[in-house]
């Protein structure tokens, strides 16, 4: 059993979450509950393998071999009921890199690309960085639960969208899309010949009543229309090691993608990232099952407290470790709300408006931390909200 209640001091480790507070929030006197990494150690099996490798002391160029591919293939088949062919896998330092390169490879300047807001900000940034146009299919919120407006989705595709960047499971609204929802989105993309770029980085962080379905696993036709971006980085807290991969069945698309990665010099993973990627998928399963229970308990704890002790409401969360909290009862929006959380609650959260204008009265709270940190953070938010009322 892993002790997920152990508190580690992450200060002075060059942690973005802990060491960049002054530059991001203009103060370091806050409790950080923002950036999507966890305050837990990675599984011991990963740490041991890295230490073992480090004892060798030589860090020359490193290949990716069949053992790594086997680990990925087994993981996807066992955990996500998705049997894939070895040849469909290709590698990338990170999922955001993959999104950027896929957009560059398969669309042209001025093309329209669809996203479902509020959504992880690099989705918009990746589109504008390549001078493509953002088209939004806003998610519909009712009673703290988000669904898709399919009429609007179809209309946007009809109007001439080239690609759709799907976030599945969705950050920040916490939805694990159902088979029916995925099927409808995929069928429409096939109908209008729209490329699906599916970011499934949160696929393993799904609560007990839900199942993640890779959109490409729905049918061969859908798979051939899809670029799937995956990674063990969120799941096992190894984002700093920069090892991720893509699954692309269609060989033409895969070759185009690889050509674009090559043109940027992105041809290999780092030595330690390779090890972590393999170990995560071969030896990390038990740790992950424990983690998901802990995250679900954390979610229940926060929902209970915020809803009993404040007028804040929490979006129904089916997966991820990112809680999307509606703060409209505070009567504050955007920057004012963000500043309130910094100045009054003394917590560092992600500001809702950075996910799109739909998020202006929301904050995103990262609950992947030990109990002690979580309780302290929630105490601060509750007290500030009560004092504001």
Ligand X SMILES: Cc1ncc(COP(=O)(O)O)c(C=O)c1O
Give the nearest distance from C-beta 199 to ligand X in angstroms. Answer: 5
Closest distance of CB 358 from ligand X, Å: 16
Q: Report the site for ligand X in 115-144 (rule: CB under 6 A).
A: 120
Closest to ligand X by CB, 95 vs 374, is 95
Residue 202 or 305 with smaller CB distance to ligand X:
202
Location of structure tokens 């088209």: 135
**141 backbone dihedrals φ, ψ, rounded to 5°:** -100, 130
Least CB distance to ligand X at residue 120 (A):
4
Binding marks (x or -) toward ligand X, 66..105, rule CB under 6 A?
----------------------------xxx---------
Give the residue, chosen from 21, 30, 64, 201, that forms a contact with ligand X under the rule CB under 6 A: 201
Shortest CB 349 distance to ligand X, Å: 14
Distance from C-alpha of 36 to C-alpha of 235, rounded to nearest angstrom: 11
Give me the sign of the Cα torsion angle 182, 223, 270, 275: positive
Interface size with ligand X, residues (CB under 6 A): 13
CB of 65 to ligand X, least distance (A): 22
DSSP-assigned beta bridge partners for residue 314: 325
Query: 151-163 b/e with 16+ CB inside 10 Å = b?
Result: eebbebbeeebbb
CB within 8 Å of 184: residues ≥ 6 apart = 148, 150
Residue 314: in which H helix or E strand, if any? strand 313-314
Single residue of 116, 126, 171, 198 touching ligand X by CB under 6 A: 171
**Which residue of the chain is nearest ligand X when measured via CB?**
94
Q: Which of residues 222-241 bind ligand X (CB under 6 A)?
A: 231, 233, 239
Q: Could you say whether residue 244 binds ligand X (CB under 6 A)? A: yes
Edge-to-edge strands, sheet with 195-199: 89-92, 244-247, 226-230, 195-199, 161-167, 112-115, 133-136
Compute how many other C-beta atoms are within 10 angstroms of the C-beta atom of residue 23.
Answer: 9
Q: Which residues of the shown chain bind ligand X in the complex (CB under 6 A)?
A: 36, 94-96, 120, 167, 171, 199, 201, 231, 233, 239, 244
């Amino acid at each position: 059993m892993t002790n997920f209640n152990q508190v580690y001091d992450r200060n002075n480790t060059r942690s973005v979450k802990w060491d960049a507070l002054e530059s991001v929030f203009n103060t370091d006197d806050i409790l950080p509950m923002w950036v999507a990494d966890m305050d837990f150690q990675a599984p011991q099996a990963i740490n041991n393998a890295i230490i073992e490798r480090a004892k060798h002391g030589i860090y020359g160029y490193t290949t990716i071999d069949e053992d790594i591919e086997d680990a990925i293939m087994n993981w996807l088949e066992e955990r996500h009921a998705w049997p894939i062919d070895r040849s469909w896998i290709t590698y990338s330092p990170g999922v955001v890199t993959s999104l950027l390169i896929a957009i560059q490879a398969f669309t042209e300047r001025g093309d329209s690309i669809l996203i479902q807001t509020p959504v992880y900000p690099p989705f918009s940034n990746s589109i504008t960085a390549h001078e493509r146009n953002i088209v939004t299919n806003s998610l519909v919120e009712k009673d703290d639960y988000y669904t898709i407006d399919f009429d609007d989705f179809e209309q946007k595709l009809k109007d001439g969208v080239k690609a759709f960047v799907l976030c599945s499971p969705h950050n920040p609204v916490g939805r694990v899309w159902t088979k029916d929802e995925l099927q409808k989105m995929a069928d429409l993309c096939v109908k209008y010949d729209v490329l699906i770029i599916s970011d499934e980085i949160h696929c393993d962080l799904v609560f007990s009543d839900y199942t993640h379905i890779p959109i490409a696993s729905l049918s061969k036709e859908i798979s051939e229309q899809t670029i799937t971006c995956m990674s063990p980085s969120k799941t096992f807290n190894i984002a700093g090691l920069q090892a991720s991969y893509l699954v692309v069945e269609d060989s033409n698309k895969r070759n185009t993608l690889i050509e674009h990665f090559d043109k940027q010099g992105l041809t290999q993973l780092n030595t330690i990232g390779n090890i972590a990627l393999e170990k995560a998928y071969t030896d990390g399963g038990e740790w992950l099952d424990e983690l998901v229970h802990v995250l679900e308990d954390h979610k229940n704890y926060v929902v209970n407290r915020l809803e009993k002790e404040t007028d804040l409401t929490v979006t129904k969360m089916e997966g991820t470790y990112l809680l999307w909290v509606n703060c409209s009862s505070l009567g504050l929006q955007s920057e004012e709300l963000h500043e309130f959380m910094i100045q009054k609650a003394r917590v560092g959260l992600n500001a809702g408006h950075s996910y799109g204008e739909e998020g202006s009265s929301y904050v995103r709270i990262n609950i992947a931390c030990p109990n002690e940190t979580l309780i302290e953070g929630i105490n601060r938010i509750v007290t500030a909200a009560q004092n504001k009322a």
